[in-house]
């Protein structure tokens, strides 16, 4: 058994809008790359996946198109999604591996039946013998280390690239939840718009991401930060550098931040009283890259009066959770999503 079982691999995937992470049994998270596919414009052939495709995404190349197959937490391009899964798995391939046995995939909870089916089909086409799907907020909760099966309410807010998933988890199920299509990407877009409007400065997506990661905040900082940003002046068409500060960026991203907080409040309003009492005791848990926005915990605390915990390494919470499911399928069987066969 030993030798042969080693030749078949069991893997778990966090199929995210922004990043896809792969977890391999007994190894942990082995790959974390952007969810991007680059194709030759003429032949349609895949020329790069992940990091390499991201580099092409920013530089305009007439012969290459880059695709983000998962936009806003839904599958925008089925074929490219499969290419992404295949390409990233290939990057992790061991020389002597015969193929994949089990695959657990974390998917947005707002996904439709047809999209679920498409993810399952893609996994099967890639060679998986058994495919299991788990909702991202459930996986995040497991990754955080919450005992999802106990009769207690736990609120998870997973702020990813395309979607913010808010869920109250209890007894191994999602008691109530919402999938909001406002998340990290919208915060980046708000920064791009601010530079255009306020300074006539066009900045790229990667620069805006850097601004977000380095100085964006949701709450007044003890010490406000500054940063030099380069872009192209839309009036003179010349390159320009400008110093900006965190207070201005906070204002620029106020709309998406308040949309996320409004959704959290709405979810709290519809939570059953006994679960609300648990949440009041335990606080809410933030996961996903958006959890790293400075002061977001304070801002949510101010508006909801709840304790707010930022999960350890929020960017890998979903992947670690899908990995935990993979490593103990028996225990987690009841949290898996069912898909209808057609």
Ligand X SMILES: Nc1ncnc2c1ncn2[C@@H]1O[C@H](COP(=O)(O)OP(=O)(O)OP(=O)(O)O)[C@@H](O)[C@H]1O
Among candidate residues 47, 119, 42, the one with its CA nearest the CA of residue 76: 119
Q: Is 163 annotated as a binding residue?
A: yes
Minimum CB distance to ligand X smaller for 24 or for 293? 293
Q: Which residues of 160-170 are buried (b: 16+ CB within 10 A; e: fewer)?
A: bbbbbbbbbbb
Q: How far is the CB of 163 from ligand X (least distance, A)?
A: 4
Helices vs strands, H then E, count in the chain:
13, 18
Nearest-approach distance from CB 1 to ligand X, in angstroms: 35
Minimum distance, C-beta of residue 45 to ligand X, in the bound complex (Å): 25
Please report the beta strands in the chain, taking only residues with DSSP state E, as ranges in sequence order.
Answer: 8-15, 19-24, 28-34, 37-40, 46-49, 64-67, 70-71, 74-75, 99-107, 130-135, 154-159, 164-170, 173-180, 201-202, 226-233, 239-245, 284-287, 308-310
**Residue 18 annotated as lining a ligand binding site:** yes
Q: Is 184 annotated as a binding residue?
A: no
Q: Residues 103, 104, 106, CA angle at the centre, nearest 5°?
A: 140
For ligand X, which is the closer residue by CB, 185 or 304?
185
CB of 188 vs ligand X, minimal distance in Å: 6
Q: Which of 271/322 has CB closer to ligand X? A: 322
Identify which of residues 82 and 278 has a Cβ nearer to ligand X in the complex: 82
Of 126 and 291, nearer to ligand X (C-beta) is 291
CB of 235: closest distance to ligand X in angstroms? 29
Shortest approach of ligand X to residue 152 CB, angstroms? 24
Residue 162 in marked binding region: yes
- Annotated binding residue 211: yes
| Angstrom distance (rounded) from CA 273 to CA 50 | 44
Binding interface with ligand X (CB under 6 A): 14, 16-19, 73, 108, 136, 160-163, 183-185, 209, 212-213, 288-290, 292-293, 315
Q: Is 212 annotated as a binding residue?
A: yes
The nearer residue to ligand X, 161 or 231, going by C-beta atoms, is 161
Strand partners, 230: 241
Question: In terms of Cα–Cα distance, which of 321, 322, 311, 266 is closest to 288?
Answer: 311
Q: Is 42 annotated as a binding residue?
A: no
17 is in an annotated binding site: yes
Distances in Å between the Cα of 7 and the Cα atoms of 28, 98, 99, 100, 238 are 17, 5, 7, 9, 56
Calculated CA dihedral for residues 216, 219, 225, 229, nearest 10 degrees: 20
Tokens, residue 23: 């977890």
Between 56 and 318, CB nearer to ligand X = 318
Minimum distance from residue 249 beta carbon to ligand X (Å): 11
Q: Is 158 left (phi over 0), alpha (psi -120 to 50) or beta?
A: beta
Residues in binding site for ATP: 17-19, 161-163, 209-212, 289-292
Residues in binding site: 17-19, 161-163, 209-212, 289-292
């Amino acid at each position: 058994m030993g030798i042969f079982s080693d030749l078949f691999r069991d893997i778990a995937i966090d199929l995210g809008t922004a990043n896809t992470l792969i977890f391999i049994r007994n190894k942990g998270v082995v790959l974390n790359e952007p969810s991007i596919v680059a194709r030759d414009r003429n032949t349609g052939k895949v020329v790069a996946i992940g990091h390499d495709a991201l580099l092409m995404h920013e530089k305009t190349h007439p012969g290459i198109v880059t695709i983000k197959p998962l936009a806003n937490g839904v599958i925008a391009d089925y074929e490219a999604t499969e290419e992404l899964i295949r390409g990233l798995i290939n990057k992790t391939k061991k020389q002597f591996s015969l193929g994949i046995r089990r695959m657990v995939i974390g998917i947005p909870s707002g996904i439709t039946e047809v999209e679920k089916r498409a993810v399952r089909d893609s996994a099967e086409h890639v060679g998986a013998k058994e495919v299991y799907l788990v909702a991202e907020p459930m996986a995040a909760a497991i990754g955080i280390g919450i005992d999802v099966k106990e009769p207690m309410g736990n609120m998870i807010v997973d702020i990813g690239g395309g979607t913010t998933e808010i869920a109250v988890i209890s007894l191994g199920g999602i008691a109530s939840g919402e999938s909001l299509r406002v998340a990290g990407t919208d915060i980046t877009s708000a920064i791009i718009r601010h530079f255009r409007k306020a300074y006539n400065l066009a900045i790229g997506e990667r620069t805006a991401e850097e601004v977000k990661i380095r100085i964006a905040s949701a709450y007044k900082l003890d010490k406000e930060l500054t940063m030099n940003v380069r872009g192209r002046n839309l009036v003179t068409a010349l390159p320009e550098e400008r110093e900006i500060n965190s207070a201005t960026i906070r204002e620029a991203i106020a709309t998406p931040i308040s949309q996320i907080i409004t959704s959290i409040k709405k979810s709290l309003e519809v939570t059953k009283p006994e679960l609300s009492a648990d949440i009041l005791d335990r606080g809410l848990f933030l996961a996903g890259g958006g959890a790293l926005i400075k002061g977001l915990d304070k801002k949510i605390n101010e508006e909801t009066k709840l304790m707010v915990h930022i999960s350890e390494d929020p960017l890998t919470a979903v992947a670690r959770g899908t990995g935990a499911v993979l490593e103990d399928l028996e225990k987690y069987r009841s949290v898996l999503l069912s898909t209808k066969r057609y």
